[in-house]
Structure 1
Amino acid sequence: MDRWVGKTAVVTGASSGIGAAICVELANAGVNVVGLARRTGPIEALKSQVKGGGTITARQCDVSRVEDVAATFSWIQDSFGCVHIMINNAGVFLQGGITDVGNDMLSEEELLSVIDINLKGPILCARHAIASMRSNDFDGHIVNINSIAGHYVPMSSKFNVYTSTKYGITGFSAGLLNELSDHNNKIKVTSVSPGLVRTGMDVAADDNVPALRPKDVADAVLYVLSTPPTVNINELTITPVTERRL
């Protein structure tokens, strides 16, 4: 991680769960972190957990809104300069049906919000982050927080359109790598796919179900960032011991 000391990382969905853990671990490794979320208060509170040489700065941003993302990255450029690391973590999981065959159909607004936050947001943020890296002639790293539900469809229908968005992240990550390779660009892209994680989402609410801690995922992110400039981990799947497919 030495080459990232003093560099700038942008983390979306930074107010809780995996995003909050990533912010703290990066800052403790000496990275200056810009945490993005719709609520900035919880990000500000993370500063008390920083024991290393990095910093955490909160910025309000709704990654599903084109205008918010553009304004935020313009502010980051003015305030910090280059985006060296981009962690696309913001995500939402809403239980309910896609259609009316059951009695728990999600509204169209809810379904679209899952797509906008989980898929549109990472694409928009990656575009801006790569533009920053290129304008500063820096070979940075894009990390997309995916899910094992982006590689197989769980039997439970509660995952509804969520798994579609995560399959989208799998395709987006691979497509982005192809584009960068076509132009001999050395910016890295990694898809990190955790199994169940104990966060604010209700999927792992049962204490008897094996699940990761947010810090476990944060440690995995630091692991992929620590690889040499000539090595890229395209996909990393991380699950708790004894986890079984849903």
Structure 2
Amino acid sequence: MDRWVGRVALVTGASAGIGEATVRKLAQLGMKVIGCARRTEKIEALKNELKGTPGSIVAIQCDLSKEDEILAMFEKIRTEFGGVDVCVNNAGLGHPAPLLSGDTTLWRHMLDVNVLGLMICCREAYKSMQERKVDDGHIFLLNSMSGHRMISDGNSHVYSATKYAVTAITEGLRNELRAVKSHIRVTAVSPGFVDTEFILRMYEDEKRAEEVRNIRKNLQADDIADAIIYALQAPPHVQVHDILMRPTEQVS
């Protein structure tokens, strides 16, 4: 990780779960970490907790469903920090909204954050690296096992469709980066069940969410952050394209 010390990493959805764990680890390894979220109080608390670590943490408020806020965030990073060297597209959400009966507003929210917001961040991160002739940057996309297979629960089908899009975007980015002879790497991380707030938000029923959570020993946020670190610290000629991770007891 020595070559990343002092360089700038952007982590979206940084206020909880996988995003928070990733911010913590990158800062402890010496990076300048910018954490973005709609609410930044928890990022500020993490910053205070980690005072004295080799790296640093800055919180920026940003709603990834709004392009103007994303562009303003990247401009702020450009003027204050020079630009982005690592972009971890962690923000994502799921709503119980089946194909046959789902609310269009919920469909649109998932598409805006999980697909469009992610693509805008990837584009702007690449532009930031290109402008500064950064040829060894790294773009991460937090995908899901739901981006590789479908389950029968209709509540997850549109969420799964957005994650299948992330699978296609990952390969599309790799091909476009190769076409322009860039050595910027792209990595997707596709977890199964992770013990975070996502489960409660997805099921919108605390009792049902607890039942799902307690079926098995789920992955922890640190497990996913460790996978990101693994891919980031690989030698520059090694692109870890996709990491699929399940709890050992998960069925599909």
Aligning the two structures, in what range does the TM-score lie when normalised by the shorter sequence? over 0.9
Gaps of at least 5 residues in structure 1 are none
Range that drifts further, 153-162 or 212-221:
153-162
- Give yes or no for contact 1:86–1:129 (8 Å, CA) kept in 2: yes
1:24 maps to what in 2?
24
Within 5 Å, which residues of 2 pair with 1:63-82?
63-82=64-83
User: Cα distance, 1:146 vs. partner?
Assistant: 0.3
Question: Which letter does structure 2 place at the counterpart of 1:143?
Answer: F
Question: Which letter does structure 2 place at the counterpart of 1:19?
Answer: G
User: Cα distance, 1:182 vs. partner?
Assistant: 1.1
1:128 maps to what in 2?
124
Residue 139 of structure 2 aligns to a residue whose secondary structure is strand
Match of 2:114 among 114, 118, 127: 118
- Give yes or no for contact 2:36–2:60 (8 Å, CA) kept in 1: yes
1:158 maps to what in 2?
155
- Give yes or no for contact 2:88–2:140 (8 Å, CA) kept in 1: yes
1:217 maps to what in 2?
224
Match of 1:144 among 141, 144, 155: 141
User: Cα distance, 1:160 vs. partner?
Assistant: 2.5
User: Cα distance, 1:49 vs. partner?
Assistant: 4.0
Alpha-carbon separation, structure 2, partners of 1:21 and 1:120: 24
Range that drifts further, 151-160 or 180-189:
151-160
TM (norm. structure 2) is: 0.92
- Give yes or no for contact 2:37–2:62 (8 Å, CA) kept in 1: yes
- Give yes or no for contact 2:216–2:249 (8 Å, CA) kept in 1: no
Match of 2:193 among 187, 193, 196: 196
- Give yes or no for contact 1:196–1:210 (8 Å, CA) kept in 2: no
2:173 maps to what in 1?
176
1:239 maps to what in 2?
246
TM (norm. structure 1) is: 0.94
Within 5 Å, which residues of 2 pair with 1:47-126?
47-50=47-50, 52-100=53-101, 105=102, 107-126=103-122
**Greater fraction of residues in helix:** 2
- Give yes or no for contact 1:24–1:49 (8 Å, CA) kept in 2: no
1:230 maps to what in 2?
237
Runs of at least 4 residues of structure 1 off by over 3 A?
A: none
- 1:43-62 Cα offsets, whole Å, 9 max, x none, are 11112442630111100011
- Give yes or no for contact 2:74–2:83 (8 Å, CA) kept in 1: no
Question: Which letter does structure 2 place at the counterpart of 1:125?
Answer: C
Gaps of at least 5 residues in structure 2 are 203-208
- Give yes or no for contact 2:195–2:218 (8 Å, CA) kept in 1: yes
User: Cα distance, 1:157 vs. partner?
Assistant: 1.4
- Aligned residues: percent identity? 40
- 1:127-146 Cα offsets, whole Å, 9 max, x none, are 01000111111120000000
